[in-house]
Structure 1
Amino acid sequence: MATRSRSEVLILALSAQVCPTEPTCYTQAVKHGEWRKAMDEELNPLLQNETWCLVPSQSAISSGWVVKQLDVHNAFLNGKLSETVYMKQPPGYIDKQFPNHVCLLKRSLYGLKQAPRAWFNRLHAFLMSAGFKASKTYVSLFYYSQDSSFIYILVYVDDILVMGNDQNLISILLAELSSKFNIRDLGEPGFFHGVETVECDDGILFSQQRYMTDILKHAGMTDCKSLATLISVSKSTVFNADLYDDATQYMSLVGTLQYLTVTRPDLSFAVNQLCQHMHAPTVSHWEQLKRVLRYVKGTITYGLRIRKSVSRDLHAFSDSDWAGCPEDRKSTSGYAIFLGSNIISWVCKKQRIVARSSTKPEYKALAYVCAEKLIITLLETELQMEIYRLILFRLRTN
């Protein structure tokens, strides 16, 4: 994916300077030296990595902790394929000695459906050989421990976060990774998948301010007036059942708001309500979406703050409303879990069944939060963390 994005930027830049229109095929691009150079830059890493070999075409019938952010260049090209996959020779790069041969892939390529799995399996095998263990709770998490030294690795496609309390071990790990893969050390994570890390006096702040700005720009509401509340508290709001004329825009914006809840727990309930009407949004739902965006405009500097906490107690809060949805009378549950003074998990979602008793939604909410607590406990056991005690609260409003 990283290769594609870089090539697209290069193509756009070259097309603006050399060609009046962007070429759509090889025969158009080969007429310009700049395009030919761009194609060579894309193909050379594949050849250097021995991504394929030519075969006859008839064969193809069947605490002082260190945190670093790493980027794997051409990550998918490192994956080794277990299946037999053939492809035609790239136009303009056909072997003159064997023009009728096809490429037998030995490694994965971008765009190949097996590529993500092949790359992850290759990285997984390397980390296992280096003494790491794979988390049973989160498949993208790996951890290593030796005496009092710990290293944790979190993998997201070709982006990797490394955290540990032993600088020497981390340096050895980075050297080993660099010997196997084309690794770029980006230093401390400043901007990771739309989430910016801002240092504060008493901790760090995870902010998506740039992402929120992009959402408002996409919605055409950059200069809108802000609001202090997400949902109208007035009971006299008139509901307009007419379908909104641009359902695609509604779905696109709600989808972007879903990712925003990664650092904004306060948006969870409102975004959950918007997501329930993706299939047929009405004019009133669109108005509700715009209200949420106006609230985002006024809270654009908000984020998720993590502070150093002396307590290791796990506090869990749960709540639910009984038959709160006026359309199907289903209940909505929510919970928030704190490790010390820091929130680490939160959810807001509608229950699947209609409850006849007000007690049942409460028990369902408790079941949800207890299940999440068990997952957190398993994760903390893997990471050799110790939780002193669990305190469970059920919120109640009269």
Structure 2
Amino acid sequence: MLFSLAVSNSWTLRQLDVHNVFLNGHLLETVYMKQPPGYEDPTNPGHVCHLQHSLYGLKQAPRAWFKRLHDFLLSAGFNSSKIDVSLFYYTAWTSRVFLLVYVDDIIMMGNDATLVTALLGRLATASGPWNTRLLLSQRRYMTDLLGRSGMAECKHLATLAVVTKAVVPADVPYENPTQYHRMVGALQYLTITRLDLAYAVNRLCQFMHSVTTEHWGLVKRVLRYIKGTLDYGLWLSPSSSTSIHAYSDSDWAGFPIDRKSTSGFAVYLGTNLISWLSKKQRTVARSSTEAEYKALADVSAKVTWVVSLLRELG
């Protein structure tokens, strides 16, 4: 959503990566560790180390880093969003700056380039502004995924699944269910920028408990589709409107095993797609109207969340 606003309003956009991020997080708790192998003190072999910083691998490390960053941003004049904990915003007269955090990756954007540069000067060096349109792509991730699955040289397909045949449990169990779990989990991460994969991946996730050879064949079909669509991504173009449009749909009793329906929705901010979902409903709908109402309830909840965030951002 913020990318969409940045592109539409020609905001300055910068990206940072914090090196040795966990070493920048100070521990508030008392934590000791054994002396590292090869660095033991021969005169005091029984002594332990008192940690001053959060080492990578400790459960406290991400929390310690985020708390330090959180406290610093508040001291610099930022406000912490009540709608999304990873979002911070700064307001000065008509100038507004937004900062998004994902572990050690930080994105800052705003309508005042001078203010953005000044605030970044207190954090780290940054790259230049993007003022045209954005393509959110995971091409490298898709290529790595095909390589890990042994499908790098496979022939591509134009469709994700056979739409004329219902997916039902087969009798032949797949010999390597761990591989299935790993690949489907990786495909879930790919749906961050690939709306077209949402429905197929949602279906694949429903067979985690009992994987068959037919289910693995469906995974390979999705991978072959990805092979032919490596250039696909999420385009965000300048939009003159900030109106919210949402679309929802459902299939009635589309899952042949338990007769549950699947809901789907897409939410647009102006002309840019900012949120989507494909999810099997929790209960059986007794009519197609009831299935549609459940899908409408899901998209209404999402739109309410988006409106709350937009209001908080002014």
Aligned pair in 2 of structure 1 residues 326, 232: CA closer, same or farther (>3 Å)? same
Percent identity of the aligned residues? 59
- Of 296, 300, 306, which aligns to 1:366? 296
| Residue matched to 1:67 | 13
- Matched residue type, 1:164: G
Aligned pair in 2 of structure 1 residues 101, 288: CA closer, same or farther (>3 Å)? closer
Work out whether 1:226 is the aligned partner of 2:172. no
Cα distance per residue 1:325-384 (max 9 Å; x no partner): 001111110100011111110000001111223222211111110110011011111221
Following TM superposition, by how much is the alpha carbon of 1:72 offset from its aligned partner in structure 2, in angstroms?
1.2
Q: Are the aligned partners of 2:166 and 2:256 in contact in 1 as well (CA < 8 Å)? A: no
- Matched residue type, 2:145: I
- Provide structure 2 residue ranges, at least 5 long, that are not aligned to the other structure: 1-8
- Matched residue type, 2:210: A
Following TM superposition, by how much is the alpha carbon of 1:98 offset from its aligned partner in structure 2, in angstroms?
5.7
| Residue matched to 2:272 | 342
Work out whether 1:243 is the aligned partner of 2:189. no
Aligned pair in 2 of structure 1 residues 251, 239: CA closer, same or farther (>3 Å)? closer
| Residue matched to 2:94 | 148
After superposition, the CA RMSD in angstroms is 2.2
| Residue matched to 1:203 | 133
Aligned pair in 2 of structure 1 residues 100, 281: CA closer, same or farther (>3 Å)? closer
> Relative contact order, CA 8 A, sep 6+: which one is greater?
2
| Residue matched to 1:139 | 85
Distance 1:101 1:84 in 2: 15
Aligned pair in 2 of structure 1 residues 236, 80: CA closer, same or farther (>3 Å)? closer
Distance 2:82 2:305 in 1: 10
Following TM superposition, by how much is the alpha carbon of 1:101 offset from its aligned partner in structure 2, in angstroms?
3.6
Distance 2:71 2:215 in 1: 48
* Structure 2 counterparts to residues 149-164 of structure 1, below 5 A: 149-164=95-110
- Provide structure 1 residue ranges, at least 5 long, that are not aligned to the other structure: 1-62, 178-182, 190-198, 385-398
Q: How many residues end up aligned between the 2 structures? A: 306
Aligned pair in 2 of structure 1 residues 311, 244: CA closer, same or farther (>3 Å)? same
Q: Are the aligned partners of 1:241 and 1:284 in contact in 2 as well (CA < 8 Å)? A: no
| Residue matched to 2:241 | 311
Distance 1:68 1:225 in 2: 38
Distance 1:106 1:300 in 2: 45
- SS of aligned partner of 1:308: coil
- SS of aligned partner of 2:247: strand
Distance 1:261 1:164 in 2: 27
- Matched residue type, 1:151: V
Aligned pair in 2 of structure 1 residues 313, 237: CA closer, same or farther (>3 Å)? closer
- Matched residue type, 1:129: S
Q: Are the aligned partners of 2:248 and 2:264 in contact in 1 as well (CA < 8 Å)? A: yes
Work out whether 1:187 is the aligned partner of 2:127. yes
| Residue matched to 2:202 | 272
Following TM superposition, by how much is the alpha carbon of 1:215 offset from its aligned partner in structure 2, in angstroms?
1.4
- Matched residue type, 2:255: C
Distance 1:92 1:373 in 2: 56
Distance 2:167 2:289 in 1: 30
- The structure with the largest alpha-carbon Rg is 1
Aligned pair in 2 of structure 1 residues 376, 238: CA closer, same or farther (>3 Å)? closer
- Of 76, 86, 89, which aligns to 2:22? 76
